[in-house]
């Protein structure tokens, strides 16, 4: 299944999932679950740079299939082979 990650900065934090994400993968990434004021959903994030997160995901078999910028946000979509 595809996995999308976004970052508000090139150095972190990196958003790595939502409330429906695989808990074991979020634990592997060292992600923290939070609910931002005004949002009606939970998200997982890490304080590491996206390149560190992408390297960890690659070690688990994920590959980047696309990347785009949305304003100041960068979004990577990955697929697990």
Buried b (16+ CB within 10 A) or exposed e, 55-75: ebbeeeebeeeeeeeeeeebe
What are the φ/ψ torsions at residue 33 (nearest 5 degrees)? -90, 130
Q: Is the pLDDT of residue 60 over 70?
A: yes
Query: Both tokens of residue 14?
Result: 């990196």
Distance CA 36, CA 14 (A): 14
Mean pLDDT of 60-78: 90
- pLDDT in the model for residue 8: 45
Ordered by start, the domain boundaries in the chain are 14-80
Domain made up of 14-80: CATH architecture: 2-Layer Sandwich (3.30)
pLDDT at 28: 97
Q: Which of the four pLDDT bands, split at 50, 70 and 90, describes residue 71?
A: confident
pLDDT tens, 26-57? 999 999 999 988 888 999 999 998 889 999 99
What is the chain's mean pLDDT, rounded? 87
């Amino acid at each position: 299944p595809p996995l999308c990650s976004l970052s508000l900065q090139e150095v972190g934090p990196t958003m790595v999932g939502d409330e429906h994400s695989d808990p074991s993968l979020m634990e592997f990434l060292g992600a923290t679950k939070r609910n931002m004021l005004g949002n009606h959903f939970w998200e997982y994030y890490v304080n590491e740079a996206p390149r560190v997160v992408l390297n960890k995901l690659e070690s688990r078999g994920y590959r980047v299939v696309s990347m785009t910028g949305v304003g100041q946000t960068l979004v990577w979509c990955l697929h697990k082979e």
